[in-house]
Amino acid sequence: MITNNNLLGTESIGKLLLKFSLPAIVGMMVNGLYNVVDRFFIGKLGALAMTGIGINFPFMTLIMAFSSLVGVGAAATISIRLGENRKSDAEKTLGNAFALLAIIMILVSIIGLSFKTHLLYLFGASEATIGYASEYITIILCGTVFQGIGLGLNNVINAEGNPRKAMFTMLIGAIINIILNPILVFSLNMGVSGSALATVISQFVSSIWVISHFIVGKSNLKLKRENLKLNLQIINGIISIGMTPFFAQIAATIEAIISNSALRTNGGDIAISAMTVINSIIILLFMPLMGITQGAQPILGFNYGAKQFKRVKETLKVAIIAATTLCIITFSLTQIFPVILIKIFNKDPELIRIASHGLRVFLLMTPIIGVQIVSSNYFQAIGKAKSALILSMLRQVIILIPMLLILPNFFGLEGVWMAGPIADFMASVITAILLYKEMRLLAITEP
């Protein structure tokens, strides 16, 4: 929550961006760490175990999709209600969000457990990897309700003006996951099951932390029993706002399924394992970039609303420069030290050979993607949701998925790696054109 809105309209853009980006970067890094801890320890069990985790990626993105559908939608609605001084309605939204998350996640668990074997084969499992994949996802699905509530309601904590508390939610989960993983995986010799159990336990603790915040904590909002009764009007409001991140995650799920299929067809199980490692590296290295876009969002939104378009353009310029600088650093690391980065997760010689080449090719256009990511965030920050949705779908759905379907037919496994930079280049060019038109429009409307 911004304590002094005037600073957003007067303070130096560089100072503001630093002030808002640093906590976001820390939070994003913690979140990224949370997501790759399992892969780090499971990678020590071998390439096939790592492949099993990669096959489950569509499952994980589906769970996150439903968490975002309710969590992001509820957070935005609650922010609006609090701004309108309608605390009672905000608490009703909180109660409905909690109940809706619980119901949806229980259904996801039941459906997922009932059809997991069929789904895992659809997601790219083979006879050699189905055991690892099934062992892991069975335990994860049993704890889906904890993940949904922890992630979903943490958005509300941030929305009510407690970004540090929201960051601690992720930090607590990550620390517990890091501590429990080696104990359960290696000391107790539980293998893949131990890693999944460590994740579920950490999610359980995070969900208790979040719930306690709204029951006995210092939150302005309280989770009350009478607000748990579902209200169709409130649910419609939550879902209508949460659809954008929901579709983004669904797109990631579809892309992961198609990618796994292409990888297995053209490179076997080891290729899926390689992409799992590549995605883990991407998550870690790109989190600071996402922190910058989050930090820029309130600055862009405030100054756009105040019609201070010069400050909007300056914020955009500084954010793009900062993002591009990070992208160049990331590009350099992946091109110069791919083997070192991959060895963090697995030391299998064949996996290192395939993944190091794949990493170099897949991230070939990294230096130019800062423009695309910052610009997509810009349109979201100024309330142009349709443009933001189109740009967020541009790379993942409109370009990348067709590339994954077409290129491997001509270039085999190399075609899978090539799909990434081609999608990045085309999406960045289209985004730059749209951004140029938007800047010209701002220049015309500037008072």
Structural Rg of the chain based on CA atoms: 22
Per-residue pLDDT at 446: 64
SS3 content of the chain, % helix, strand, coil (to 5): 85, 0, 15
Per-residue pLDDT at 1: 42
- Range picked from 20-29, 36-45, 220-229 for highest mean pLDDT: 220-229
Distance CA 33, CA 178 (A): 9
pLDDT band at 330; cut points 50, 70, 90: very high
Residues in CB range of 380: below 8 A, 6 or more apart:
297, 388
Q: Which residue has the higher pLDDT, 216 or 361?
A: 361
pLDDT band at 19; cut points 50, 70, 90: confident
pLDDT band at 315; cut points 50, 70, 90: very high
Per-residue pLDDT at 391: 84
Distance CA 83, CA 94 (A): 15
Distance CA 377, CA 371 (A): 10
**367 φ, ψ to 5°?**
-60, -25
Give the tokens for residue 68.
């975002």
**Nearest Cα to 364, choosing from 293, 417, 411?**
417
Q: What is the pLDDT of residues 157-174, one digit of tens each?
A: 877 767 678 888 888 998
Per-residue pLDDT at 447: 63
- Average pLDDT over every residue of 379-405: 84
3-class state of residue 50 by DSSP: helix
- Average pLDDT over every residue of 275-285: 92
pTM: 0.84
Number of structural domains in the chain? 1
Residue span of the structural domain in which 64 resides: 5-445
**What percentage of the chain has pLDDT greater than the value 70?**
97
Single-letter code of the amino acid located at 263: L
Give the tokens for residue 306.
């105040």
What is the four-CA torsion angle of 184, 352, 126, 279, rounded to 10 degrees?
A: 70
- Average pLDDT over every residue of 56-62: 92
**What percentage of the chain has pLDDT greater than the value 90?**
60
Encode burial over 268-297: b for 16+ CB neighbours within 10 A, e otherwise: ebbbbbbbbbbbbbbbbbbbbbbbbbbbbb
The lowest-confidence range among 189-193, 402-406, 419-423, 436-440 is 436-440
- Range picked from 49-63, 307-321, 323-337 for highest mean pLDDT: 323-337
Per-residue pLDDT at 73: 86
Q: Which residue has the higher pLDDT, 213 or 296?
A: 213
Per-residue pLDDT at 112: 97
Residue 348 has pLDDT above 80, yes or no: yes
Per-residue pLDDT at 161: 67
User: Angle between the 144-159 and 130-142 helix axes, to the nearest 10 degrees?
Assistant: 60
3-class state of residue 355 by DSSP: helix
The lowest-confidence range among 32-46, 188-202, 350-364 is 32-46
Per-residue pLDDT at 2: 42
Averaged confidence pLDDT in the chain: 90
Distance CA 68, CA 241 (A): 10
